[in-house]
Amino acid sequence: MKWIPLQSAAQLSEILAKPGPSLLFKHSTRCSISTVALERLNKSTLSDQAPSYLLDLLSYRDLSNEIATRLHVHHESPQVLLVNKGECFYDESHLSIRVEEIEEELKKINGL
């Protein structure tokens, strides 16, 4: 995976304005489940299919809350969100984060 650090509300606005899908991963560096989820994602090629953003939840808690508010999702950690044109079309957390499911959702949004 090629992660892009997600660090500001302005950057979030840019992501949400994009016409194609983007992947957001909210990661807690203190949580072993979050580490397992990150390892699963790191073994994938999802970033070849959609820009992939990594939010350090402990450093950017306010931004994590803004994501929940703007995308109308419940805050979780770890959490993967797929967004397209300002809408969240996939939201999964904890050990339910599965690369295969994310790939299927990306195929749907890309019309494959």
Tell me the domain boundaries of the chain.
Answer: 3-109
Question: What's the whole-model pTM score?
Answer: 0.94
Report pLDDT digits (tens) over 44-89.
999 999 999 999 999 999 999 999 999 999 888 899 999 999 999 9
Radius of gyration of the chain (CA): 13
Q: Are 65 and 75 in contact (CB under 8 A)?
A: yes
Q: What is the CATH number of domain 3-109?
A: 3.40.30.10
Confidence check: pLDDT of 112 > 60: no
